[in-house]
Structures are given as C-alpha cells and as structure tokens.
Chain A
Amino acid sequence: DGGITQSPKYLFRKEGQNVTLSCEQNLNHDAMYWYRQDPGQGLRLIYYSQIVNDFQKGDIAEGYSVSREKKESFPLTVTSAQKNPTAFYLCASNIGTRGMNEQFFGPGTRLTVL
C-alpha cells in the first residue's frame, strides 16, 4: 500500500523538551509539507520541501526545524523555543507539479505539552 505514515499518533512533552515527529512516504513524491492545525484555524504551513536537501519556511516556522536527507522522509522537530506547541500536526506530500496535483495527507500526530 502506498501512502504516508506519521508516528507517533499521540505525543506528550514536558515544557523545555525538544520532540521529533516522524513522517514517511512511499509514494515517490518530491514535495513534502508540515502543517499545524488548531481548532477553528484550519491548517497553517510550518515548512515544506520541494526536493531532497532543500526546504523552505512556511507561515509559522518559528520554534520548528526540519531536515530532508532522504526523499521519503521529512521529520519535524518541535523545539523548546515554540511557545505553544500543543496542536495536531499533519504531514503531506505531493508529486511536485506546481500545484496541479493534490496533496496526500498522513493520519496526524497530536502533540500535548504537559
């Protein structure tokens, strides 16, 4: 089965800790994205990557970091600098044809800061 996997499904973090959310795809897609979802605010773009070893900041990149060392993997680290990290995080991928094809989404990770 082709698709996107995210792990873990639920994640709890103490204040001051960094945590890393995993995102893997086997769709052979070039582009990958991280979104944050808060109630009533839709999806906001954190980072995106169009190709291996390259990524760009989205609208709310502060307090987050990413890497794209492999085509199939795009992990997101939530650092202690992120003031309000409790949210639902969604990873997506896209074949990379300048917006003409849809994004595919993972099942999400719910992060809670204790």
Chain B
Amino acid sequence: AQSVTQLDSHVSVSEGTPVLLRCNYSSSYSPSLFWYVQHPNKGLQLLLKYTSAATLVKGINGFEAEFKKSETSFHLTKPSAHMSDAAEYFCVVSDVYTGNQFYFGTGTSLTVIP
C-alpha cells in the first residue's frame, strides 16, 4: 500500500536560513513523488516532481528535493527562506499500480520569522 508521512506538522525558520521539510513514503514499486505548496484559502501549486529521472529535483522558487530510495525519503529543501515561503506544504506519492490515485501527507506548516 502507498502512504506518505510528513515528519513535522510545523516548522519555523528565520528568514534567510535553510528550510528542511521531511517526507518519507511507502510504495510497492517505482514511485512518482511530488511536493505542493498551499497558501491560505488557495488551491495547491506544484513545486517539483520526481518521476524516475534524476534523483535531485529542482523546482520553482529555489526549492529542491532529493529522492533517496534506500531511505524511502523525499525531503524538500531551500537554502534561504523568504517571508513569502510561509505556507502549507504537502508531499504526495503515486505509482503506476495505484490506478492514477495520489496519496497525500498530512502537511507541514512553514512559518518564516523575520
């Protein structure tokens, strides 16, 4: 069965410091992995995706994530946090055996302190 665990429900960082949002997944075969961002009362926007190409994936707004199969992880990072990064972040997994369904983590709320 597929599942996603976001290890932190809340993360606070100071502006200009690195961001690390952790995600572990469970998938039977080769997964597709996604990170989305959601600002209050808005829809979800794709930050980046991994679909079995390069294990280090670069996304929008300076975010990147590394797929580590041995650790079943797909952590999201950014070298320097900006105030506009404050939002909810979701890690999502899918694979060819899920019938085009997507499995969401419960989200990590990122606070950026000025």
> Could you tell me which A residues sit within 8 Å of B by CB distance?
4, 6, 31, 33, 40-43, 45, 48, 50, 88, 90, 92, 94, 96-108, 110
Contact = CB atoms under 8 A, between A and B. Distances in A.
B12 interface: no
Of B51, B96, B99, B102, most buried by chain A (CB within 10 Å of CB) is B102
A110 B42 CA distance: 10
A45 B102 CA distance: 9
B100 A99 contact: yes
B38 to A, nearest CB: 9
Contacts of B36: 105
Contact of A99 (B45, B102, B104): B102
B100 A90 contact: no
Contacts of B94: 99-100
Contact of B43 (A31, A101, A107): A107
B74 to A, nearest CB: 14
Given A90-B44, A99-B32, A100-B94, A42 B99 contact: no
Contacts of B44: 90, 92, 103, 105
Given A94-B102, A99-B98, 6 more contacts: A6-B43, A42-B90, A50-B100, A90-B44, A98-B99, A102-B46
Contacts of A104: 46
7 contacts: A41-B106, A42-B104, A43-B104, A88-B41, A101-B32, A101-B51, A105-B36
B101 to A, nearest CB: 7
B34 interface: yes
A105 B45 contact: yes
